[in-house]
Amino acid sequence: MIAGIRDGLHWFDLHLRGDGTARPQPVALFVTGADRWRAFDRFPPPAQPQRLYLHSAGGLAPGAPGAHAAPTAFVYDPANPTPAVGGALLGGDAGPRDNRGLEARADVICFTTAPLPAPVEIIGAVQLILFVRSSLAHTDFVGRLCDVEPDGRSINRCDGMLRLTPGIGALQADGSLRIELELGPLAHRFRRGHRIRLQVASGAHPRWSRNLGTGEPIATAVQGLVAHQTIYHDADHRSAILLPLVAADGLAMSDAEPETVAPF
């Protein structure tokens, strides 16, 4: 708190009184997972986009999926809405939380990398591209990025939601939709031996109001419809998450874990 007050006063002195010297790197970010601050000239900093593709059987990898990969299906029931565990909520349950209980639900689909051979640091906006189909014209899709620790704990790091209505998404020749979800900005290091996990669902209640699927105003609607959802991940439907990889800051976390951008 004291550091924040000091930085605030410095900003006021510089921009309101014209007194003081601007920092050579005005952007300061705390990188979770690395547990340290980093300074940059601007945000987002220069990054190397890394595309990880969704695969059948819950895989997540840089290689593109095969031509005949089967899609993944799940059912969303607004009478039993998928909950939010942690994240940008008000209250004591906000922030990073173990999502294993949430991931055990049938309406939460997970795609996970192999254990990382080296640390991966991402700073910037995380984007999710999905090819989907729904039995309803009005429905939601939620994406959540998690850090899976060696002991199995799956810790949420950022998420986002897209509310589908007629006209949203790019209609494909086969009737599926290409949609894009912004999962928010993130500054996080996935340590060596950890895994990167993507959750896909159709709800995160109460962070986002449940979608009843009828198209009626959510605040007053009383009837709900069950949505049958399909996620495509094959050569013609390259669903993927885009991660902004950044170079390391040159300060090793330990002699056994040098900071490099990991080859997946």
Has this prediction a pTM greater than 0.75? Answer: yes
Count other Cβ atoms within 10 Å, centred on residue 88: 12
Cα torsion angle, 189, 194, 198, 201, sign? negative
With residue 164 as reference, give the H or E element that holds it. Answer: strand 154-164
What's the CATH architecture for 36-245?
Answer: Sandwich (2.60)
With residue 123 as reference, give the H or E element that holds it. Answer: strand 120-134
What are the tokens at 252? 């090793």
Q: What is the DSSP letter of 58?
A: G
pLDDT 10s digits, 230-251: 999 999 999 999 999 998 664 3
Q: What is the dihedral of CA 170, 50, 125, 179, to 10 degrees?
A: 10
pLDDT 10s digits, 126-171: 999 999 999 999 999 999 999 999 999 999 999 999 999 999 999 9
68 or 244, which is more confident?
244
Please state whether beta strands 170-171 and 139-148 pair in parallel, antiparallel, or not at all (unpaired).
unpaired
